[in-house]
Amino acid sequence: QSALTQPASVSGSPGQSITISCTGTSSDVGAYNYVSWYQQHPGKAPKLVIYDVDSRPSGISNRFSASKSGDTASLTISGLQTEDEGDYFCASYTTSNSWVFGGGTRLTVL
């Protein structure tokens, strides 16, 4: 199972919006609505910010939104804040009953 494809980095200024893409195949992202997104700060464990393509866990800001079209999922963060800076990973359940992560995207808030 190959890793999902994410851009290596994205950046934005405070208050702006950014979108991170996550491209898979018909065997993972395109197969189920089981795409999730994780935020990770340096030296910390990942934190779930989106599940089931576009649902936010309790306590996650509504500045985080997500969607999916075909084999590509997207995470949008609006009203960027300095605390949003970090690494973001997508993940998907697969038709092999396994899980696959994206390579990760480094978000820099300028």
Q: In Å, how far from its chain's centre is CA 42?
A: 17
Q: How far is the CB of 15 from other proteins (least distance, A)?
A: 29
Q: How far is the CB of 14 from other proteins (least distance, A)?
A: 26
Query: Total residues contacting other proteins (rule CB under 8 A)?
Result: 25
Q: Are 22 and 73 in contact (CB under 8 A)?
A: yes
Q: How far is the CB of 79 from other proteins (least distance, A)?
A: 24
3-state secondary structure of 52: coil
Binding mask 23-62 for other proteins (x = CB under 8 A): ---------x-x-x-x------xxxx--xx----x-----
Verify binding: residue 83, other proteins, rule CB under 8 A. Answer: no
Residue type, 39: Q
Span near other proteins by CB under 8 A; candidates 20-28, 62-70, 73-81, 89-97: 89-97
Verify binding: residue 101, other proteins, rule CB under 8 A. Answer: yes
